[in-house]
Amino acid sequence: MVLYGYGSYETSIDPSFSVPRLSLLDRGVVFAVAHVRGGGELGRGWYEAGRLTSKRTTFTDFVACARHLVDTGWTAPDRLVAEGASAGGLLVGAVANLAPELFAGVLAGVPFVDALTSILDPSLPLTVVEWDEWGDPLHDPEVYEYMRSYSPYENVREGIDYPPILATTSLNDTRVLYVEPAKWVARLREAGAPALLKIEMEAGHGGVSGRYARWHEIAFEDAWVLDVLGRA
């Protein structure tokens, strides 16, 4: 099973058809979407309950979804991959620290994993407007400490049996700079985690341009997923 999550900006992740996902389905992989707080699937209150200094509920909701799927027999920890991109990359990065034992792998696309460092820098083009979503750690010590408590990079620890982790990013990404996943993967490796970094050299936050180029990129990710699930 691949469990996908996002959980930010009141964005609703509705189930949708995906041609390249058929490759996973044909190999017996179930695809599920976790509607965690911070998203908009259950209205404004659902979003408000997963932002600012309530952000950790986004991560604990995802863990709860994973545990439910295991407990009800849909999957098992050695057959479950967590996937998220951008703010969803922050989600799965945080989950890797919270409950690494629940997952066979973590796939993080253009992941916002050094959130505290970026949100502290108002010279970055998106930082100040992002304070409405995450809070302002530059001027509010409570927000600083809260973000530090969940930011994936800040919370990598030695002695944790991390699952295999794949982080993908793009050199020209101006929303989540490639240095974030690069720093994260370096720290994970220092902690003994089996982490892999893939950098697309001619793309931005949305990945490569062109349908076939995009499918080629997804094929790489799917091959990694199938490998960690033992379905390759």
Q: Please provide the average confidence, as pLDDT, over all residues in the chain.
A: 94
The DSSP output letter for 101 is: G
Residue 205 bears catalytic tag = yes
pLDDT digits (tens, 9 = 90+) for 108-135: 999 999 999 999 999 988 899 999 999 9
pLDDT digits (tens, 9 = 90+) for 139-158: 999 999 999 999 999 999 99
pLDDT at site 207: 65
Lowest mean per-residue pLDDT among 32-36, 144-148, 205-209:
205-209
- Give me the residue spans of the domains in the chain: 2-228
Percent pLDDT > 90 in the chain is 82
Strand order in the sheet with 81-85: 31-34, 2-5, 81-85, 105-109, 165-170, 195-200
- CA dist 232 and 223 (Å) reads 7
In this structure, whether the domain defined by 2-228 belongs to CATH 3.40.50.1820 is answered with: yes
Would you place residue 204 in the very low, low, confident or very high pLDDT band (cuts 50, 70, 90)? Answer: low
pLDDT digits (tens, 9 = 90+) for 92-108: 999 999 999 999 999 99
Nearest of 127, 107, 213 to residue 174 by alpha carbon: 127
Whether the pLDDT of residue 183 is over 70: the answer is: yes
Q: Is pTM, for the whole model, over 0.85?
A: yes
Mean pLDDT, residues 175-181: 87
CB 166 within 8 A of CB 198: yes
Nearest 5 degrees, angle CA 136-CA 130-CA 47? 95
Would you place residue 203 in the very low, low, confident or very high pLDDT band (cuts 50, 70, 90)? Answer: low
Would you place residue 231 in the very low, low, confident or very high pLDDT band (cuts 50, 70, 90)? Answer: confident
Residue 16 bears catalytic tag = no
From 114, 136, 173, 222, the catalytic residue? 173
From 8, 86, 151, 170, the catalytic residue? 86
Residue 18 bears catalytic tag = no
Compare 145 and 175 and report the one with higher pLDDT: 145
Whether the pLDDT of residue 209 is over 70: the answer is: no
